[in-house]
Amino acid sequence: MQRMRSALAIIGASLGVALAAAGCGGGGGGGTPADIVGRVLLTTTGQPPNPAATVTVAGAASVSTGVDGSFTIRNASSAAKEITVSATGMTTLRQALPTLTPNAVNDLGDIFLTDSTYNADVDGVVVRADTLAAVSGAVVLISGLRTTTDASGAFSLKGLPVGLGGTNQPVGKVIATGFEPKSLILDLPLGPTAPPDNLVNHLGEILVSPPVGSIPGGPFTVGGKVTLQGQTVHSGVTVTLIRVSDDVTLGSVLTNDAGAFGFWAPVGAYRVRAEKAGFETQAMTVTLTRLDQPVTANITLAPAP
């Protein structure tokens, strides 16, 4: 009997050790700590949620977004696979996390909440703006989801918020070694990829430019200056480059204090559109015939009536 009690005591102690070990790292499955930052915006308004959104990642306490929608999660598990974001009046988002870098700050960028569903799929191709050659290995980040282009420059993302886009607000970016970072602006809101049509939102060609330095320096092939009537500072004007042949938007930039802007684009005809809240939108068409002969588009915006 004494030997049986001793055996049971040993078994119980072993179970205690096993249970203690299993209890470590709960909620995230262990993993070296990682910090996560980002910003939450609403597809309906483009503004931060008010009241604040709640952001949760395994291995760390939930946090609330700030007045600008930003959040910081300290010491999350680097093994965490999902982020959950909820806000009043919005559909709760449960979204896969990109692979987190341990002992580092992982920036998810802007994450958008919708009052609809998260089943909008997209695809596209990243190409050089000067030669239209495919750019492989480019990182595409949209609403907190991340992927990398293949050898043909192609990429796809699934589960984006329906209704994302349709404004001049960037919804993500493209980062490629040897190229300028490219902000992504969607001309039309994303539709659902759902039965009966299962339509994928095609983003087409996304042009990335070789480094151009600070505007108004070069090199660029289409550039100019936007003047705001009655103003001494001409920054914050959204200038969009549109290819005339197929009406495809190639990119958008913001003017600096002097109103300057620039694009690197291949030979062709383009429509340059300038717009800013409180002013009348203007556009002009230019034709680039040689890459070593940049064309200039100077535009003046009058106050809206």
What's the CATH architecture for 222-301? Sandwich (2.60)
Contacts of 14 (CB under 8 A, 6+ apart): none
CB 127 within 8 A of CB 151: no
Give the whole-angstrom CA distance, residue 166 versus residue 187: 5
Distances (CA, A) of 139 to 82, 98, 101: 19, 11, 15
CATH superfamily of 33-113: Immunoglobulins (2.60.40.10)
Query: What's residue 219's pLDDT?
Result: 65
Query: What's residue 189's pLDDT?
Result: 95
Strand-pair category, 172-175 with 238-243: unpaired
Could you say which residues of the chain have pLDDT below 70?
A: 1-31, 211-219
pTM of the predicted model as reported, rounded to 2 decimal places: 0.63
Query: In this structure, what DSSP letter does residue 175 have?
Result: E
Query: What's residue 30's pLDDT?
Result: 59
Give the whole-angstrom CA distance, residue 171 versus residue 205: 16
Query: What's residue 218's pLDDT?
Result: 53
Same fold, 33-113 and 222-301: yes
Q: What is the pLDDT of residues 206-252, one digit of tens each?
A: 998 876 444 444 568 899 999 999 888 898 899 999 999 988 888 88
CB 113 within 8 A of CB 104: no
Nearest to 94 by CA among 75, 109, 113, 76: 113
Strand-pair category, 201-208 with 70-77: unpaired
Q: What is the pLDDT of residues 163-213, one digit of tens each?
A: 999 888 899 999 998 888 888 999 899 999 988 878 999 999 999 887 644
Query: What's residue 6's pLDDT?
Result: 42
135: left (phi over 0), alpha (psi -120 to 50) or beta: beta
Give the whole-angstrom CA distance, residue 212 versus residue 219: 5
What's the CATH architecture for 120-208? Sandwich (2.60)
Angle at 41 between CA 40 and CA 42, to 5 degrees: 135
Instruction: Domain ranges for the chain, please list them.
Output: 33-113, 120-208, 222-301
